[in-house]
Structure 1
Amino acid sequence: MKSPRTLAAAVEHDGAVPAGRQERFRGYGVMGLPFASGYLLAMRRFPVTSLGPGYTSVWVRTPAGAWTMYSTVPPGMSCPRYFGSALTAASMEDIELQWTGEQSLKLAVGGTVGLSWTLHLSATPATRILSAVAGLMPAPLLRTTAVLKGMGPVAGLVLDSGGIALTGSSPNSQRFKAIPRRVWFIDAGSATLRGVDLGPLGPLQEQARLGGFRLPQRGLFMFGSVYFAPAGPPGRGSR
């Protein structure tokens, strides 16, 4: 299997938007990385979208359960378009993403946010099997609701990551389909927020969710595509 860094470079240079009539995104990201302190971080990097410019988005959940999303494009053209009603805040920020090795990267959200985040990925027999199955499955079959509904629980069990929902409704009520193609565990990571260390990795006391989307109870990194039902004019449902 090619390294995450190599796959990321390929995605960055391939401008083909996934086929379909829905709002479509292709790229990679941290599905979720929980910390024993109660924080949870996530990241989406979509170089290719049907809405307009590609973007990076970083999600932060506090121990109190408050969500904030930062994106490099306006909220109405990025993740808050679908998750805005469940957020405490959403804003456009400078986000730096740098691969520091074949399986390691660091992110930083500048300005008043002050988030610095590093992580390292690893492959295991479980991730290799799931990646092989998803990678070989024909795209039209993998996009069907029945297949995604069956694959989500199986993936959650195999990866020991809590429930995984690959299809459902976002907080803003748009239906989504997440199409995984490659997956890795995040076996190490650290983060500071405004100078405060978020502490060691570890599952949350209760699995986090945003509408029908469930954040994993251990760090997962995936490549793939996401489809959303049309959300209306840009800006709708965002804050």
Structure 2
Amino acid sequence: MSSAEGVTERQHPTGELERGIAAKVQQIRPSVQPSPMQGYEHVRGFGIYALPFDSGHVLALRVFPENDFAPYTTVWHRTPDGRWSIYVDGPRHDTACPRYYGTATDHVQSATITLDWIGPMELQVRMDDPELHLTVRMDAPLTATILNAIGARFPAKIWRVPGVASLFARVADTVFDIGDVTLIGTAPNGQRAILMPRQMYPIESAVATLDGDDLGEPTTSETNPTMGNVAFPARPMLAIGEAYFEILDRSEYDRTRAELNETSVSY
């Protein structure tokens, strides 16, 4: 992943000094450590929460420098007929997104994924196989700034209360028109999942080609994209935050952490 060096602050149209998303995500340093929530694994980082196109394709991006196992990046792709693939840039598939969502996918493979912040609010994503070229630009309207300030300071122990999470989801839908997203539910692989998108930014423009095919214009879906029982935003969004997934097999968890530690994986 590229650094945000050289990315400068800019004056947001609202009059607020906007450092941009690039500077914020660079503060999340690669770190392998146990989850702060007992009985759960965790991931912390950012990503394209969901990016629907008018062609019926959907893309997503997950960048998790901090988690229990090893830093990784994944690209998700859903075809117009509903088939999901996850592409993993990391040491192992079973310590990245397929660990939680794999049973709902039709295809999982390794890939090299490169990220370049070309501005405070503009990100380029490239992948080698399949060949993906994606450029997205985010917006930060005043309503988003206010909601994000609240979300960034919300204690995790309160967020995981179902009623509170549901309230936050309703407020986010009112502000962003993202539909009915899942913040607490069950991941396709069976773990109880607690998703905490603490800061969200609408994607105002996107250009994407996959193996040379233009995916079309970004759009708000009539229904929320889903993977298993987990619903993602209907509107193109980027999010910064964290997620927690129930540990179903403690011996497997400990063994996997030990294996990665023995190989001294670095990112």
TM more than 0.5:
yes
Q: Which residue of 2 aligns with 1:41?
A: 59
- TM-superposed CA distance for 1:11, in Å, is 0.6
Distance 1:120 1:148 in 2: 28
Q: Distance in 1 between matches of 2:213 and 2:83?
A: 17
Q: In the alignment, what sits opposite 2:164?
A: 147
Contact 1:17 1:26 in 2 (8 A): no
**Number of the residue aligned with 1:211:** 228
**1:2–1:231: structure 2 CA closer, same or farther, 3 Å change rule?**
farther
| Structure 1: gaps spanning 5 or more residues | none
State the Cα deviation string for residues 97-156 of structure 1 (Å, max 9, x = none).
111111111111103x01111100110122112102212323322233331122112212
Residues 1-239 of structure 1 aligned to structure 2 (within 5 Å): 2-12=19-29, 18-21=35-38, 22-50=40-68, 52-73=69-90, 74-111=92-129, 113-232=130-249, 233=252
- Name whichever of 7-16 and 141-150 sits farther off: 7-16
Moved more, 223-232 or 205-214: 205-214
- State the AA in 1 paired with 2:132: L
Q: Distance in 1 between matches of 2:29 and 2:204?
A: 24
| Partner SS state of residue 6, structure 1 | helix
Aligned residue for 2:29, secondary structure, equals: helix
- Offset, 1:20: 1.7
Q: Cα 1:17–1:159, aligned 2, differ >3 Å: closer, same or farther?
A: farther
C-alpha separation in 2, matches of 1:205 and 1:123? 23
Task: Report the Cα distance in structure 2 between the residues aligned to 1:117 and 1:81, rounded to whole angstroms.
Answer: 25
C-alpha distance in structure 1 between counterparts of 2:109 and 2:30, whole Å: 27
Alpha-carbon distance in 2 for matches of 1:3, 1:231: 38
| TM-score normalised per structure 1 | 0.91
* TM-score computed with the length of structure 2 as normaliser: 0.82
Q: How many residues align?
A: 233
Question: Is this contact kept in 2: 1:59–1:68, CA < 8 A?
Answer: yes
Whole-Å separation in 1 of the counterparts to 2:144 and 2:43: 22
Structure 2 counterpart SS, 1:12: coil
Identity of matched residues, %: 31
1:15 CA drift (Å): 6.4
Distance across 1 between alignment mates of 2:30 and 2:85: 29
Residue 180 of structure 1 deviates from its aligned partner by: 2.3
Say if 2:220 and 2:236, in contact at 8 Å, map to a contact too: no
Runs of 4+ in 1 over 3 A off after TM superposition: 13-18, 231-234
Deviation at 1:211, TM superposition (A): 2.3
Considering only aligned residues, what root-mean-square deviation do their CA atoms show, in Å?
1.9
Instruction: Quickly say closer, same or farther: Cα 1:6–1:13, change in 2 above 3 A.
Output: farther
The CA distance in 2 between the partners of 1:13 and 1:92, in whole Å, is 20
Structure with the larger RCO, 1 or 2 (CA within 8 Å, 6+ apart):
1
**Residues 153 and 165, structure 1, Cα contact 8 Å, conserved in 2:** no
Query: What amino acid sits opposite 1:157 in the alignment?
Result: T
Alpha-carbon contact 1:81-1:231 (below 8 Å) kept: no
